[in-house]
Chain A
């Protein structure tokens, strides 16, 4: 069965599901794609490195 949900050509706004609106917004995706690795990889990693105690000789 093929869903024909995009034939609302009669001018009025069809209801676009949330997920699709997200997928259709390149700049939102850009934001998420930059924030995710910045938080989980860079910030978390850098915090761990920064809290390593300095060796005392």
Chain B
């Protein structure tokens, strides 16, 4: 290779860090956390506004912050962090320098500039179109331009990931197949390419429309293509956080996947089918056929769901196998009881896994069913569902891995370790609360994206049942708890970077420990019985089936056929 780059081996973990990749991982992750802080704070204000008795924001501010919250939390925070994950999974795990670091920096700056432009436009108040920006609602042209610039930056970063894979292959830094975590990141990167391309197809014309060059954007056409981006971007998150589950299982337990092949197939299902499920956002649109809806949401999606269930089984299964090897063999669950529950890397990841499956996964399949979808479409059930996937699932996982990464990257000890121990529980409980209570209110018909729970100025009065207001109050309280947990996370991270105790440079004298082989190589754990995981899986399936039929029962009651 012509370009020699600096790199180091982390003295504690044995991980390889290319100088440029390391800097990029740091900057992308930290920038993401800043936007999480902003977006999360807005979320708390909105939860308090939807609490009928508190109702703190005026209407225009509610919709303004709703727009900013969706953009900053869902898009900016997560995608910045995902760039860090891509660089980690390629350069660090494959022990190769990052391809085209200058481009990666260009990508970073474009993302930052785009995010700032869009935020300024939203905060100025004339772009409260929510992050979905459905026409005929029109935002300031710079609102769309900012998102496009952000997306171009993310695309450049994604190609640097692909480039690094090529480089690693050329330099033969790994043997055989890609390690599983990198393969999962590859899945995320592939979905990202489709996501960003769809975004460009729809947002460029919308930008021209807002500038007056195009007279008309068809709302249904917009929605269809927009959701190819909007939904697929959620699948980038799923692929990324599932990869991190495997990574954390490997780091903490030295766990290997139960069967590498099966896990790889599950990712392959994602690549093939996951993105089709975008259609679940259009289940009540007239104009699209049931064939299209059912093929895309259910027929193929269930294969993607199968992929998720495989991961949900093999991640705890691999942990159980690793723990049993260490001798935690008593009964069904000693392996789980004796897991390091005081370590936020593990507790955050495991809670994320459970909540993603039970709260997010089950409800997602319910809503993805054409017939049942009608009972909760556009109610608060929808945000309830996706706070379980994207906050309890993705965000909590990203927080968990940060507790591992930030001390390693910045060579500092965790600041406030006592708080760090509790943070995943505070945040996890808060997020479980907002998602369950929003879903509960949604089941009673409370609409999403709606400022006025009492319909005060409606010509025809309407009241939600009293229980709905109670759930909204509980949602507000949970929002406060989640806000507390989120703020603690940001404080711990910033504190670690600025004031954490510096770790001594042991590198020169002591040899670095061998890196965890499960992280760098493909390979399975071999055959070990995992009865505990099996029981958990049965409980999951039982809940799934029960809840599915409960919803058909609801449907029959809505139609007064019972």
Q: Do A and B come from one complex?
A: yes
Measuring CB to CB, which residues of chain A are less than 8 angstroms from any residue of chain B? 1-2, 6, 20, 23-24, 26-27, 29-30, 32-34, 36-38, 40-42, 44-46, 48-49, 52
Q: Which residues of A contact B228 (CB under 8 A)?
A: 37, 41-42
Which of B412-460 touch A at CB < 8 Å? none
B220 within 8 A of A: yes
Q: Is B547 among interface residues, defined by CB-CB distance under 8 A? A: no
Contact between A38 and B194, CB atoms less than 8 A apart: yes
Q: Is B505 close to A, CB under 8 A? A: no
Q: Which residues of B contact A49 (CB under 8 A)?
A: 218, 220-221, 224, 287-288
Specify which of B218, B232, B272 lies most central, judged by the most chain A CB atoms within 10 Å of its CB: B272
* A37-B278 contact, Cβ under 8 Å, with A6-B176, A23-B268, A49-B218: yes
Give the dominant DSSP class at A's interface. helix
In the bound complex, what is the Cα–Cα distance between A6 and B261 (angstroms)? Answer: 14
In the complex, the answer to whether A26 meets B278 with C-beta atoms within 8 Å is: no
B190 on interface, CB distance cutoff 8 Å: yes
Q: Which of B198, B271, B296 contacts A33 (CB 8 A)?
A: B271
Q: Is residue B264 contacting chain A, with contact meaning CB distance below 8 A?
A: yes
A-B contact pairs, 26 of them (CB 8 A): A1-B527, A23-B183, A24-B177, A24-B178, A26-B186, A26-B190, A29-B271, A33-B190, A33-B191, A33-B193, A33-B275, A36-B275, A37-B275, A37-B278, A40-B296, A40-B300, A42-B198, A42-B224, A42-B228, A45-B224, A45-B282, A46-B221, A46-B225, A48-B288, A49-B218, A49-B220
**Which A residues lie within 8 Å of B224 (CB)?**
42, 45-46, 49
Say whether B273 faces chain A, with CB atoms less than 8 Å apart. Answer: yes
- Given A23-B264, A48-B287, A49-B224, A41 contacting B296 (CB threshold 8 A): yes
Interface centre among B194, B273, B524 (most CB of A within 10 A): B194
Known: A26-B162, A41-B296, A45-B224. A52 touches B287 (CB 8 A): yes
B242 within 8 A of partner (CB): no
B339 within 8 A of A: no
**A34 in contact with B272 (CB, 8 Å):** no
- A37–chain B nearest beta-carbon distance, Å: 4
A38 to B197, CA, bound (A): 10
Give chain A residues whose Cβ lies under 8 Å from the Cβ of B136.
none
Quote the shortest CB–CB distance from A48 to chain B (angstroms). 6
Cβ–Cβ < 8 Å partners of A37 in chain B: 194, 228, 232, 275-276, 278
B295 part of interface (Cβ distance < 8 Å): yes
CA A40 to CA B193, docked complex, whole Å: 17
* Chain B positions near chain A (C-beta within 8 angstroms): 162, 165, 176-178, 183, 186-187, 190-191, 193-194, 197-198, 218, 220-221, 224-225, 228, 232, 264, 268, 271-273, 275-276, 278-279, 282, 287-289, 292, 295-296, 300, 524, 526-527
Question: Quick one: given A37-B228, A48-B287, are A20 and B177 in contact (CB under 8 Å)?
Answer: yes
Q: How far is the CB of B168 from chain A (nearest CB, A)?
A: 11
A1 to B218, CA, bound (A): 59
Closest to B264 in A: A23
Nearest-CB distance from A14 to chain B (Å)? 11
Contact of A32 among B183, B197, B271, B300 (CB under 8 A): B271
Chain A residues with CB below 8 A from B278, complex form? 37, 41
A24 CA / B178 CA spacing, docked (Å): 7
Instruction: Report the Cα distance A29→B278, complex, angstroms.
Output: 20
Interface centre among A27, A38, A45 (most CB of B within 10 A): A45
B410 → chain A, closest Cβ, in Å? 31
- On whether the beta carbons of A48 and B193 are closer than 8 Å, the reply is no
Taking a contact as CB atoms under 8 Å apart, the answer to whether B225 and A42 are in contact is: yes
Q: How far is the CA of A38 from the CA of B272 in the complex (A)?
A: 11
Q: Which residue of A lies closest to B272 (CB)?
A: A36
Which residue of A has the minimal Cβ distance to B232?
A37
CA distance A26 to B527 in the complex (A): 29
Q: Closest CB-CB distance, B321 to chain A, in whole Å?
A: 14
For the complex of A and B, list the 3 residue pairs with the smallest distance between their C-beta atoms, beginning with the closest.
Answer: A37-B275, A33-B190, A33-B271
CB distance from B304 to the nearest CB of A (A): 11
* Assembled-state Cα–Cα distance A27/B275 (Å): 18
In the complex, the answer to whether A45 meets B279 with C-beta atoms within 8 Å is: yes
CB–CB B292/A48 < 8 A: yes
A29 to B218, CA, bound (A): 33
Q: Report Cα–Cα, A46/B278, bound state, in Å.
A: 14
Report which of A23, A24, A32, A40 forms a contact with B276, defined as CB distance below 8 A: A40
Residues of A within 8 A of B295 (CB): 40
Contact A33 B221 (CB under 8 A): no
